[in-house]
Amino acid sequence: MNEATVVINSAGCGSRLKMQIPKSLVEISGRPILEWQLRELCPSAPRVRIVVGYMGDQVATLARRLRPSIEVIVNEEWKTTKTAASLSLGMKGVRGRCVSLDGDLLVHPADFSQVLTADQDVIGIADVSTSHPVFAVVNDQNACTEMSYTKTSQYEWTGLVNFLPSSVAPGQGNVFEMIEDLLPTQTAKIRCCEVDTPADFLYANRIWPDYAQTMESTYVARYAG
Q: Where are the domains of the chain?
A: 5-121+159-172+194-219
Which contiguous run of DSSP H or E holds residue 206? helix 198-212
pLDDT surpassing 90 at residue 221: no
Model pLDDT for residues 116-145, shown as the tens digit of each residue: 999 999 999 999 988 889 999 999 999 999
What angle (nearest 5°) sits at the alpha carbon of residue 115, between those of residues 113 and 119?
Answer: 110
**pLDDT mean across residues, the chain:** 92
Q: Structurally, what CATH architecture does the domain formed by 5-121+159-172+194-219 represent?
A: Alpha-Beta Complex (3.90)
pLDDT band (50, 70, 90) for residue 15: confident
Model pLDDT for residues 94-108, shown as the tens digit of each residue: 999 999 999 999 999
- Report the half-sphere exposure of 45 (CA within 13 A, side-chain side): 32
Check if the beta carbon of residue 204 is closer than 8 Å to that of residue 195.
Answer: yes
pTM equals 0.92
Model pLDDT for residues 43-96, shown as the tens digit of each residue: 999 999 999 999 999 999 999 999 999 999 999 999 999 999 999 999 999 999
pLDDT band (50, 70, 90) for residue 3: confident
For residue 20, with 0-12 CB atoms within 10 Å meaning exposed, 13-18 middle and 19 or more buried, which class applies?
Answer: exposed
CA 115 distance to own-chain centroid:
11
